[in-house]
Amino acid sequence: MKTILRKFSQLRSLATVSSLAVAVLTHGGANDCLFGKDGQICRGQPVEGTFITKMDIIHIFKGSVCRAMKDKPKLFILQACRGEEENPVGEGETGASSGAAGLSNERPPHNFRQDAGPENVAPTSSIQTRSRSPLVGRTGAVADTSDMCFVHSSSYGYKAYRTRNLGSPFIAIFTEKVRQLARYEEFKEIIRKVQKHFNKGPLSNNKMTLPDFSVQLVNQWFLNPPRWANTL
């Protein structure tokens, strides 16, 4: 995964675009680890070299490395678990009608899957011991990491969900809101409306989930310029 992202960040064709979007739908874990098909866990910890982190993505696409996208908006959509925490709706809690954040034709709750760590468990291997913080915006590096926007399917430390027949409710609602609002709303406002949608009530598996986003955008970002407004 890291190799593919590095190659993508160095494409000459990026010099001709005004923004980019990268979507990663995979298994994940604590500290914003993202596992590829070779992902492994040993003794409860991700194995070095079998995962990437949010910080890895930042380093790959920061202005001094991905020069073609310097000062241009860069969107990263991440559908993956970010830990083991869950937010079940207890008995007697209503707040909103059940399934308000879900999709009307989802299957019963037991068909929900969690995008937690990989199925590969290594019996023995070196355990990752990175000390690099996954947080954005280190002192002295703000300009180099500007104009990045990360949108997560769940809050930090919490599980993400998907269904067998319809996939990720987060991706479905995110794309729906973008289609509806891109010609009118600034991007951060679209994300807030995605969050508001999921805050109305639980998924059909009776679990609450709240998408998260971190923004390093210096300017307002509109996905659909006015001249294209009538083409959708």
CATH number at residue 184: 3.40.50.1460
Q: How many domains does the chain fold into?
A: 1
Q: Is residue 24 part of a domain?
A: yes
Q: What backbone torsions phi and psi does residue 147 show, to the nearest 5 degrees?
A: 65, 30
Domain limits at 220? 2-9+20-228
Tell me how far apart the alpha carbons of residues 211 and 170 are, in angstroms, rounded to a whole number: 7
Q: Is residue 14 part of a domain?
A: no
Q: Is residue 61 part of a domain?
A: yes
pLDDT for 227 equals 61
pLDDT for 231 equals 55
The answer to pTM > 0.85 is: no
Q: Is residue 158 part of a domain?
A: yes
pLDDT for 130 equals 42
- Residues (pLDDT < 70) of the chain are 43, 90-143, 225-232
- In the chain, which residue ranges form alpha helices assigned H by DSSP? 2-9, 54-61, 169-181, 187-198
pLDDT for 229 equals 53
Strands (E), the chain: 20-25, 27-29, 33-35, 41-42, 45-46, 51-53, 74-79, 112-114, 148-152, 161-163, 212-215
- Residue owning tokens 């596992």: 35
pLDDT for 15 equals 96
- The SS3 call for residue 55 is helix
Which residue type is seen at 208? M
Q: Is residue 15 part of a domain?
A: no
